[in-house]
Structure 1
Amino acid sequence: MNSLEDNIKCSVCCDILQRPIMLCTGGHNTCGTCRNNLRECPTCRAPFSTIRNIELEQMIEQIQMCNIKLPCFFASKGCKFTLGLSQKESHESECRFRKFRCEGKYFAKWKCDWSGEYKDIHKHFKDFHNNHTWMEYRTEASMKVCLERDFLDIQIISFFNGQHFFYYKHKVDVNRHKVYWTFQLVGTKDQAKNFYYEFEVHQGPIRKFKVTEICENDNTNANDTFEKEKCVVMSFAAVKNFLNEEGELPIKFRIMSVKKPTGHSK
């Protein structure tokens, strides 16, 4: 017997049905937008009808109004969350039990078709992109910065021996004459709010450029973060002013957890 969640799932996108809900001649439900892209039902290969399932639309609306909790789509893989329909989609898009793809392909356009589970992400980088694993959650280095061409870099950072993982993402944008850095927790947005980073560019003991910012999560588009400049941003002119004698940019950063308040003092 099908569960409630099975009954309100689209047979095409496997997500909660969105109105208008359309029926195929075999009785399977499909989101209207999904139905528009198909010639026949993917479940039974029957043709689609022009009948709209008004009763099911009303039932889903009632579920939303009553805030009935449903299990995460990845419950069978171990996720314990139960959520209302309004939170379900956003949670599943960042759930730790979702399928991950190589972040280097997504952000830096690497030719890598890997996909896998959360527990295998760091191992994947170690096995196939080992030169992108050298950073630690406290790092000091002098980095080469070429301001003559666009550039993207990503590193994976283990936080306290794999308790968490973070992505360091770096971009040189020649068109805008700007350089960007940001750090993203591999996890949910709520978890990411518990961490922040301090990033410093320096030249000697006195001249410093320093930014402190709350971490984003890996489901956040880094280019949107760069666009909003909710990150470390330096103009090309500022970068040139901090280059050392070897023409490299001295940087240091650390990722830290936000300290929770312990209570009000009397």
Structure 2
Amino acid sequence: TSDLDDARELLSLLECPVCFDLMKPPIVQCSNGHSVCSKCKGKLTVCPSCEANYLETRNLLAEQMAYKVKHPCKNQSAGCSEKYPLEHLTRHEAECPHRVFECKAGFGVKGVNKCGWSGLLDQLYHHVAASHKPFCWMRASNTIQHKNIDLNKDCSVTQLVSAHDEIFWYHYRHVTSEERSFVALQYIGQVKAAKKYKYEVRCSSSGADFELSMVCPAHGDPEDAGAIFRSGKCLILDFRTMNHFIINKALIMKFNVLKA
């Protein structure tokens, strides 16, 4: 109990007197040695504790303490109880399942813009189902039709997939300058859980002369879709191959979300 009390007392010394968050470097101080966090410093003209002027001198002792202690995740109010040293905190917050998620449904489709909605994970599916129904499907297996395919124009589509009691982003993109099309799947939630899933794509030509089947791993949702495409860790079709599977200007694919 004594060690716990000591730890709490140490943390209290790092509390910003204005916002009460734990201070993180750079930590500045006034001429009397009182410190505030860098976020609040930009809003102040004098020290809130003694009204002295601030110096450009950093409080190196406080900064060293800040690196030693574990900081709570910024998503604590949303339910995250994790604490990390500063060197690991940023990565955790970027992948935290309690973080704020942005709606990506329909992004890149002509006439459909990123809607600007953001919210918690358990709200995301309901938002997409209510506001972007054409870009939401609710089963692990689906036949996808990308209609009016024009390989002379770039195209990008993102849809929400509900499968295995989880949700995913499905991405399709074709890039005219590269003469290639890309398909990727991102697990939405705790990043390490993405390893539990993969996806299968099957395509057939109209006379079944050509068939394609490929299985690829799912990625975590913090990754940029473009970075996934550039990495090559997804389905990639060159336009010559893709032309075999375009029927009446529609690319038809059987898509399955599988457990790894």
- Contact 1:40 1:46 (C-alpha < 8 Å) held by counterparts: no
Conserved in 1, the CA contact under 8 Å of 2:172 and 2:184? yes
User: Residue type matched to 1:30 in 2?
Assistant: S
Letter of the 1:62 counterpart: K
Alignment correspondent of 2:156: 152
Structure 1 distance, partners of 2:208, 2:141, is 19
Identify the residue that residue 201 of structure 1 maps to in structure 2: 203
Q: Displacement of 1:24 after TM fit? A: 5.3
Q: What's 2:100 paired with?
A: 99
Q: 1:56 to 1:188 in 2, by over 3 A?
A: same
Match of 1:242 among 236, 240, 245: 245
Partner of 1:264: none
Match of 1:136 among 139, 148, 156: 139
- Measure how far apart 1:184 and its partner are: 0.5
**How far does residue 142 in structure 1 lie from its aligned partner after superposition?**
3.7
Structure-to-structure mapping, 1:1-266, within 5 angstroms: 4=11, 7=14, 17-18=24-25, 20-23=26-29, 27-30=35-38, 38=42, 40=44, 48-63=54-69, 69-104=70-105, 110-134=113-137, 136-144=139-147, 145-160=149-164, 163-203=165-205, 205=208, 207-244=210-247, 246-258=248-260
**5+ unaligned residues in a row in structure 1: which ranges?**
64-68, 259-266
Q: Is the contact between residue 107 and residue 158 of structure 2 (CA under 8 Å) also seen in structure 1?
A: no
- Aligned letter for 1:226? F
Q: Deviations over 1:42-83 (max 9, x none)?
A: 9959864211111012223434xxxxx443222232223333
Secondary structure at the residue paired with 1:113?
coil
* Higher mean C-alpha deviation, range 176-185 or range 99-108: 99-108
Q: Structure 2: which 5+ residue stretches go unaligned?
A: 1-7
d(CA) in 2 for partners of 1:232, 1:54: 50
TM-score normalised by length of structure 2: 0.78
CA contact (8 A) 1:152 1:169 kept: yes
The structure-2 alpha-carbon separation of the partners of 1:147 and 1:52, relative to structure 1 and needing over 3 Å to count, comes to same
Letter paired with 1:55:
L
Q: Do the aligned partners of residues 82 and 58 (structure 1) sit closer, same or farther apart at CA in structure 2, a change above 3 Å counting?
A: closer
Cα offset, 1:176, TM superposition: 1.4
How far apart, in 1, do the equivalents of 2:47 and 2:239 lie? 55
What is the distance in 1 between the residues matched to 2:13 and 2:105? 34
* AA partner of residue 250 (structure 2): E
Shift of 1:147: 0.9
Q: For the Cα contact (< 8 Å) 1:23–1:29, is it kept in 2?
A: no
TM-score (norm 1): 0.77
Q: Does the C-alpha gap of structure 1 residues 55 and 210 become closer, same or farther in structure 2, counting only changes over 3 Å? A: same
The 8 Å contact of residues 14 and 66 in structure 2, kept in 1 or not, is answered as no
User: Aligned-residue CA RMSD in angstroms?
Assistant: 3.4
For 2:197 and 2:179, how far apart are their aligned partners in 1? 29
How many angstroms does 1:41 deviate by? Answer: 6.5
Q: 2:220, 2:214 → 1: CA distance?
A: 18
